[in-house]
A and B are shown apart, each in its own frame.
Chain A
Amino acid sequence: MKRMHLWKIAAAVLVLLALAAGTVTANGQPEERVLEFALQGNPDTLDPHKTAGTLTFQTLKSIYDTLVEPDASGKIVPALAEKWEISTDGLSWTFTLRKGVKFHNGDALSSADVKATFERIMNEETASPKVKDYAAIASVETPDEGTVVFKLSEPNSPLLATLGSGWSAILPKSLIDAGHDFANQPVGTGPYRFAEWVRDSRVVLKKNPDYWMKGLPKLDGVNINIITEQTVAVQGLLSGQLDVAYRIDPDSVAQLESSPDTKVETRLTALTLVMSINCSRPDLNDVRVRQAISHAIDKQKVLDTVYGGGKPIGTFMDHDNAYYKDFTDLYPYDPAKARRLLKEAGVGQDRVFELFLPQNYELHVKAGEMYQAMLSEVGMNVQIRLVDWSTWLSDVYKQANYDMTVIGHTGKLDPDGTLGGYGVPERRYVRWDNPRAAQLIEQGAKTAGFENRKVIYDEVLELMAREVPFMFLGSNYEFNAMRNNVYEFRITPKLDTFDFRWTELR
């Protein structure tokens, strides 16, 4: 009997110890729930108004808020503004600010901060690369502390998405006036406060206990570790040094799925993966040749082999976009038809097409190798040229000195962000000339209401599908890997920023 008692006591003590270990560390303090996150590169700056770099916005999403924000489906919902109203002529937008919001430095949010923020963005000295997005704003007025009115010079529907994007982050007026160094010391209203940034190593974020969403964030902090090498991130996850790694290589998925400690979440990206075709080049200015290129490519095969799977698209819009329309049946995989079209157009082996591949994007390079093989199959003489990113940006994207190239266009919250400028050959690198499309796109930006705009963009997307300024491949899956105890790792659609407010470590 006595022995039995001892056993029971010992077991109870062990259970208690195990429970305690879960919540309390050795020094008796409650355990800090800090998420170790892997980011693929260093943000160039932490000033949201002075960059277009995705890495910056991915870091700042936790520190700053915007007036409105996209929800999980991409719909724009209230954030720092409780509600807003747009006048019938579309020229006056009134935002009512949420009460009781505090900046990390203690300032209470008021309309003066909002006005100062947008004046900073539109100030030439700030040199914001996104300044054109705000061109329609004529003035910002503050009738009282809780109300902001944007006066527009002409109707501009894409502005709402702009106000919900990271580059419209609201900064405190007192620090703007003081010339604060936002590039290194960001101060916002967001769910986490900035603690430190060790360049090339990590950005440390601490919980904001005064955050305006009650009960959020759930974590005590986030360490954003800068890890450029994919294999290092994968090893870090396996060994437990990292909790989450974003967009891991499709070829690492099997390894992480088979580990008992890690899980992989699959999500369709908002990327529009394409092989861009320079429509101003000889032979490629013939729509039959461009159709032949589309017929020559087995899209699903490339998506599955290179991009980790995905859904084909037949036009220039990401698959899950509300404005997407299916044209995949228009020029499907049909090598025989491709051969016939090339013959009709008189394209033979003597015409050498140069396929430029940005060599820092390994997946696009691999896709390019498959395209080259498939196009050779139908009789096109295609030569691959690997180029570094800066050469790609200047020679291909800016000067359009290329025949074909492989790239993915990122999704945008507003369709004008995706389509703006197409149809005017000088404005976009595919040099596609289509006045009708250009006119529709301009009209779409000035039209209000989803239904009204959808009709316009449907026609634009059909024109693009028929004229093939790109070989439209598809939107691919992305794979986000995490330890088993991570829940609610959310990614803002289109903007691809990380929303750590709901994230939990259980």
Chain B
Amino acid sequence: MLRGTTANRLYYIAVAFLLILGAAALAAPWIAPHDPVAQDVENRFHAPSWLHPLGTDNFGRDVLSRIIFGSRSALLVGIVSVSIATTLGMIVGLTAGLGGSWTDNTLMLVMDSLLSFPTILLAITVVSFLGYGLLQVMLAIGIIYSPVFARMVRAETLALRHEGYVEASRALGTPVLKIVFKHIVPNLLGRVIVQGSITFALSVVVEASLSYLGLGTQPPTPSWGLMLKDSRNYLVQAPWMALYPGLAIALTVLCFNIIGDTLSERLNPRLQKK
């Protein structure tokens, strides 16, 4: 019982944190204390103070303002790439699950070969093929994580298509598309949402990694990964440059994972039966 309440509390804290983050991203121009790209080299490496609550970086830019603006690219990448991954994954998964064995095998072969690459390596490949930039990063992450969704959706679809109500509906002559949207998709949604929130966390990390490598967000646009990259040479001199963007990434990822875990417990019919 106690474990349940702690988990619940964590869940609400996580939701609250992400809501605040989302609000901050939307309201960035109004709440950020400074212009995130304005350079002031006379005041570089300023330790946290009232004027700069999280200090300044190597160009004298305000770290807090950059983190607030950086949440925009982090969340935007999360939303767009998860949408791409979900859409792609569901289309492929449903087609494979409902189609014949030849379609199924071919699609899954492609998906499995995508899955077999290490994530970052595949991301770098896709980005160097598409070109650098935020849009390309979102596409890359979407493509990379689509096989996870495809595999899951296919497995569920295979199970669902033999359920009594689906077969009954088919016997009545309901068009396939209608069956998909009326009977199959609603049953999948819970798991897709769970997977989505985990993928969201992963995409924040991948975006930060790609920006760290210089392949993602282009300077001077603020991005958490880019901030970490800049901080690398000043770890002793200006530890706040690394600490706060690092915290922002860690907390965001943690919150999405907590939400994902809680939702998977709540929405998983098998766990509920127990």
Contacts and interface: CB of A to CB of B under 8 A. Distances in A.
A255 interface: yes
B234 interface: yes
A393 to B, nearest CB: 15
Interface string A364-390: 011011101100000000011111100
Contact of A255 (B38, B39, B59, B237): B237
Contact of A383 (B37, B38, B218, B234): B218
A123 interface: no
Interface residues of B, number: 20
Contacts of A362: 233
Nearest to B132: A386
A366 to B, nearest CB: 7
A5 B234 CA distance: 56
A372 B132 CA distance: 18
Nearest to A251: B233
A365 B236 contact: no
Contact of B237 (A254, A305, A366, A373): A254
A386 B59 contact: no
B191 interface: no
Given A384-B220, A386-B219, A369 B233 contact: no
Given A305-B41, A370-B39, A373-B37, A384 B218 contact: yes
B58 interface: yes
B132 A373 contact: no
A301 B215 CA distance: 28
Nearest to B236: A255
Interface string B121-142: 0000000100010000000000
A366 B58 contact: yes
Nearest to A374: B39
A320 interface: no
Interface in B188-231: 214-215, 218-220
B220 A359 contact: no
B44 interface: yes
Given A252-B233, A386-B132, A370 B59 contact: yes
Contacts of B59: 305, 366, 369-370, 373
A372 B220 contact: yes
A205 B140 CA distance: 48
B46 to A, nearest CB: 14
Contacts of A373: 37-39, 59, 220
Chain A interface size, under 10 / 10 to 19 / 20 to 34 / 35 or more: 20 to 34
Q: Is chain A's interface secondary structure helix, strand, loop, or mixed overall?
A: helix
A231 B237 CA distance: 13
A249 interface: yes
Contacts of A386: 132, 214-215, 218-219
A324 to B, nearest CB: 27
Contacts of B58: 251, 366
A365 B237 contact: no
Contacts of B132: 385-387
A401 interface: no
Contacts of A366: 58-59
A368 B218 CA distance: 12
Contacts of A231: 232-233, 235
Nearest to B213: A359
Contact of B218 (A251, A255, A385, A388): A385
Contacts of B128: 388
A388 B39 CA distance: 25
Contacts of B235: 231
A370 B57 CA distance: 13
A480 B39 CA distance: 29
A368 B237 CA distance: 22
Contacts of A372: 219-220
Chain B CB count within 10 A is highest, among A230, A372, A373, A385, for A373
Interface string A384-416: 111110000000000000000000000000000
Contacts of B234: 251
A301 B233 contact: no
A146 B53 CA distance: 74
Contact of A369 (B215, B220, B232, B236): B220
B219 A369 contact: yes
Chain B CB count within 10 A is highest, among A231, A251, A368, for A251
A365 B233 contact: no
Given A362-B233, A370-B59, A384 B219 contact: yes
A252 B235 CA distance: 10
Nearest to B39: A373
A236 to B, nearest CB: 15
Interface string B230-259: 001111110000000000000000000000
Interface in A349-373: 359, 362, 365-366, 368-370, 372-373
Chain B CB count within 10 A is highest, among A362, A369, A370, for A369
Interface of A: 230-231, 249, 251-252, 254-255, 301, 305, 359, 362, 365-366, 368-370, 372-373, 383-388
Considering the complex of A and B, which 9 residue pairs feature the smallest CB-CB distances, nearest first?
A359-B214, A386-B214, A305-B41, A373-B39, A384-B218, A369-B219, A251-B233, A384-B219, A369-B220
23 contacts: A230-B233, A231-B233, A231-B235, A251-B58, A251-B233, A251-B234, A254-B237, A255-B237, A305-B44, A362-B233, A365-B219, A368-B219, A369-B39, A370-B39, A372-B219, A383-B218, A384-B219, A385-B218, A386-B132, A386-B214, A386-B215, A386-B219, A388-B128
Interface of B: 37-39, 41, 44, 58-59, 128, 132, 214-215, 218-220, 232-237
Given A231-B232, A372-B220, A373-B220, 7 more contacts: A249-B233, A251-B233, A301-B41, A305-B59, A370-B41, A373-B39, A384-B219
